[in-house]
Structure 1
Amino acid sequence: MKITRKAIAGSLESSDALVCIEPAAATEITVTSVVMKQWGDTIRAFAKDFLDKAGVTAKLDINDRGALECTLQARLETALQRASA
């Protein structure tokens, strides 16, 4: 899969996440979260693992509002599909 354009998925509603992905030569992940102290490293590691499994490099911005892991997974998958379409 190859990222060809910038894409966004999700929202800034409570218990959701806004994910923005765009093409990049190297992976760069930025996480902003209301639960950064407790879950920031976990969110970053989850996103890195997701990109590695997809075999892509990208600039990824995650603005988390307390999303569950399954919600974050869905937002990442949707953004990746939109960016590679």
Structure 2
Amino acid sequence: MKIIREAMAGTLESSDVMVRIAPCDGPQHDLLIASSVEKQFGAAIRSTLLQVLNQYGVEPVQVMVDDKGALDCVLRARLETALMRASDDGQLPWEVSDENAE
């Protein structure tokens, strides 16, 4: 996935996270994390960000995170929204799980 413009998603409210994404010319992702819970969960936040970026095959980007104690699922949703807004397609390649199919 190629990121062609800057985009953001989220708020600075308690228990939320603001994610900003921008194209990057470097060889790898540039993650800038500011979190009120960074000492306890900084490694988990970084891991989640890299997992989502790898899941969608995102080329190197700069990701700026201003976390106010968001749950992992909120972080994922905000990053996916920012990716969608910043990509050339304007949509993500959603996967459908056969787990609940009957």
TM-score normalised by L of structure 1: 0.95
Residue matched to 1:74:
77
Which structure 2 residue ranges, 5 or more long, are not aligned?
Answer: 91-102
Cα distance in structure 1, aligned partners of 2:54 and 2:42: 18
**2:8 aligned counterpart, secondary structure:** strand
Root mean square deviation, CA, Å:
0.8
Post-superposition offset of 1:45: 1.1
Q: Which runs of 5+ in 1 are unaligned?
A: none
Compare the two structures and name the one with the higher helix fraction.
1
1:20-72 Cα deviation digits (max 9, x unpaired): 00111331001110001000111011101111111112100011000001111
Q: In structure 2, the residue corresponding to 1:11 is in which secondary structure?
A: coil
The structure with higher relative contact order (CA 8 Å, sep 6+) is 1
Specify the structure having the higher radius of gyration (Cα).
2
Higher-strand-fraction structure: 1
Structure 1 segments (4+ residues) deviating >3 Å: none
Q: TM-score, normalised by structure 2?
A: 0.80
Identity %: 48
1:27 and 1:69 map into 2 onto residues whose CA distance is 19
Equivalent residue, structure 2, for 1:38? 40
- Give 1:54's aligned amino acid: Y
State the match for 1:7 in structure 2.
Answer: 7
